[in-house]
Amino acid sequence: MEMLISVVIACLIAVLPKLYMKLIIGVCKSNADLSGKTAIVTGANTGLGYATALCFARRHARVILACQNAEKAEKAVMKIQKTTGNQNITYKVIDTSDLASVRKFAQQIIQEEKHLEILVNNAGIAGPFRRHTTKKNMELTMATNYFGHFLLTNLLLDLLKKSSPSRIINVSSSVHRWIKLDLSDLMLKNFYNMHKAYASSKLAMVLFTKELSKRLKDQGVSVYSVEPGTVRTDFFNKFPPVMSEIFRVIGVFYFRSPEEGAQTAVHCAVADDVIGLSGHHFAECAIMEDCAQAKDAGIAKKLWEQSEQICGLNEN
């Protein structure tokens, strides 16, 4: 009898979280077709980016996978083509932590693509345990998750405007609520830990969304920030080994799949009911209340101005 009770309890522990997740996860209900439209997804060879690109491919879009590694990107392209039957899938190499690589990527897109209706700024890393810097002395997490996407978006803005109505989706995370952005130390030189680096980069994505939506008012380009929930992806593999293993085990029961996690980004990219909601933050395919710093237009403006300088945006 005790054995039977233990088995029942174990089954409930395994099944209940999944049932609960099924109830709370937002699902994109739009069946919008993307034929004739072009979408770029950064970090699309795996995880949430791959799932997002797959959804766009199923809806018949031309999809450009913007990836760091050509070999992995090529495999992802072939897998999406095979799964969906959509052959209009391609890739281009980008390292979002390297501003020169971002410029090269944007230049290729501007030269080769006639229009661009959807840009999903998804690529991201968890902050490394110790502070790392790029060749240009930028903190790696801020460079990869935020500055590279700030520059990429700005370089592609004319193409997005020309292709209006178009949409930009900035992938953030719920952890952006747990931090205050320190504008005097955006490269985290004075104080670093992996949580601060990651949360700051994700709050920067939310503030970037707010300021960009203001600047794009009435220009036919909408911009949204989204949080995907906690998702079973390679993201946690880069944590220190013990943490990574703990997340892997917990993830089997409590985390959502990449397809489930991608729903809010896809919703903001395709659904009609987000039209007119540019600048808002979304989770579970619905608007979320902004955190205190995200409501502060002054911080968003100052971040923009510093980002312009750091990325050399006005030096073109």
Ligand X SMILES: NC(=O)c1ccc[n+]([C@@H]2O[C@H](COP(=O)([O-])OP(=O)(O)OC[C@H]3O[C@@H](n4cnc5c(N)ncnc54)[C@H](O)[C@@H]3O)[C@@H](O)[C@H]2O)c1
Instruction: Give min distance, CB of 10 to ligand X, in A.
Output: 25
For the CB of residue 134, give the shortest distance to ligand X in the complex, in Å: 9
Contact range with ligand X by CB under 6 A, out of 22-30, 109-117, 158-166, 222-230: 222-230
Smallest distance, ligand X to C-beta of residue 185, A: 21
CA distance linking residue 95 with residue 106, whole number of Å: 12
Nearer to ligand X, 9 or 27 (CB): 27
**228 lies in the site for ligand X, by CB under 6 A:** yes
Q: Write the DSSP assignment of 109-149 as a string of letters.
A: HHHH-S---EEEE----PPPSS--B-TTS-BHHHIIIIIHH
Neighbours of 195 (CB within 10 A): 12
Under rule CB under 6 A, residue 127 binds ligand X = no
In whole angstroms, the minimum distance from the beta carbon of 83 to ligand X comes to 17
Residues 35-74 that bind ligand X (CB under 6 A): 42-43, 45-49, 68
Binding status of residue 200 toward ligand X by CB under 6 A:
no
Residue 225 makes contact with ligand X by CB under 6 A: no
Q: Considering CB under 6 A, how many residues would be counted as binding ligand X? A: 27
Distance between CA atoms of 181 and 204, rounded to whole angstroms? 7
Residue 170 in the binding site for ligand X (CB under 6 A): no
Please provide residue 256's backbone torsions phi and psi, each rounded to the nearest 5 degrees: -90, 165
Q: Is 239 one of the binding residues for ligand X (CB under 6 A)?
A: no
Piece of 30-38, 120-128, 151-159, 207-215 that binds ligand X (CB under 6 A): 120-128
Alpha helices (H) in the chain, listed in sequence order: 2-24, 47-58, 70-84, 99-112, 140-142, 148-162, 194-215, 241-254, 258-261, 263-270, 297-310
- The answer to whether residue 91 forms part of the interface with ligand X (CB under 6 A) is no
Among 28, 125, 138, 310, binds ligand X (CB under 6 A): 125
* 154 counts as binding ligand X under rule CB under 6 A: no
Residue 235 binding ligand X, by CB under 6 A:
yes
Candidates 28-36, 110-118, 226-234, 286-294; binding stretch for ligand X (CB under 6 A): 226-234
Residue among 50, 91, 146, 198 flagged as catalytic = 198
Whether 254 is a known active-site residue: answer no
Measured from the CB atom, is 122 or 222 closer to ligand X? 122
Query: What strands, in cross-sheet order, belong to the sheet with 281-283?
Result: 89-93, 62-67, 38-42, 118-121, 166-171, 221-227, 281-283, 286-287
Q: Check binding of 230 to ligand X (CB under 6 A).
A: yes
Output DSSP code: residue 290: P
Q: How far is the C-alpha of 134 from the C-alpha of 86, rounded, in Å?
A: 37
What is the three-class DSSP state of 168? strand
Nearest to 47 by CA among 241, 309, 238: 238
Q: How many CA atoms lie within 13 A of 133 on its CB side?
A: 9
Closest CA to 72 of 61, 60, 62, 80: 80
Active site residues: 198
Residues of this chain that bind ligand X (CB under 6 A): 42-43, 45-49, 68, 94-97, 122-125, 144-145, 171, 173, 227-228, 230-231, 233-235
